[in-house]
Each structure stands twice: as C-alpha cells, then as structure tokens.
Amino acid sequence: MPVASIDMEETHTVERDQLPQEMLQRVFWLRERLLCWFVQHGRSFPWRELSRSTYELAVAEVLLQRTTAAGVARAFPGLIARFPTWEAMADAPLAVKIRRKFCAFGT
C-alpha cells in the first residue's frame, strides 16, 4: 500500500519497502495511536456501518460537505429510506428531493 508524503510543491507516492525503517515504524506508531483514539472517542454515525453500500457512502460524503455531521446523522436514515438507490434519487422530482429531504439539514 503506497504511503503519501505531502510536499509544499508536489505530492510523492512511495512504496512501503522504499521507506526507511525508522519512518515506517513512526507511520505504524501513528496509525496505532489514531485507531486507539478513535475506539475511545470516535462518534457513531449511520454511514459508518459495515453494511453500507457505495451509494450510501457517496450520499453521506456529499452531504457532509454541505453541513454538519450531526445534521447529516438526523436526516440520513430518512433520506436513504426515501431514495435507496441512484435510480430512485434520479427518478424523484427535483422539488421533492430539495423540499422534503435537504431542508432537514437546516442549511
């Protein structure tokens, strides 16, 4: 799995076996710390369930760019129930999509 390092001028991708051992150890240490923190402090949201489809994750990502996670968490289950697939979302009249679901976010 490639590890990206951020440079102010460009982004480089290097393979794991190209990293110095000390840097690789730091990456693994940081990864472990972040995962431990998340287990203790991470919030539970409906779109984080393992059974979510690619469609549901994409909808959540778009909504999270528009408003707060708390707002999305309130409206997400109803939105997915009303529009369970790309086709259902595309077939719904635009006014219904906007008025009935997106107004629930308060934005």
Residues identified as active-site: 61
Of residues 105, 50, 44, the one with CA closest to residue 78: 105
CA 78 – CA 22 distance, rounded (Å): 48
Of the candidates 30, 73, 80, 75, the one whose C-alpha atom is nearest the C-alpha of residue 52 is 80
In angstroms, the Cα distances linking 66 to 7, 36, 71, 96, 103 are 28, 29, 10, 18, 12
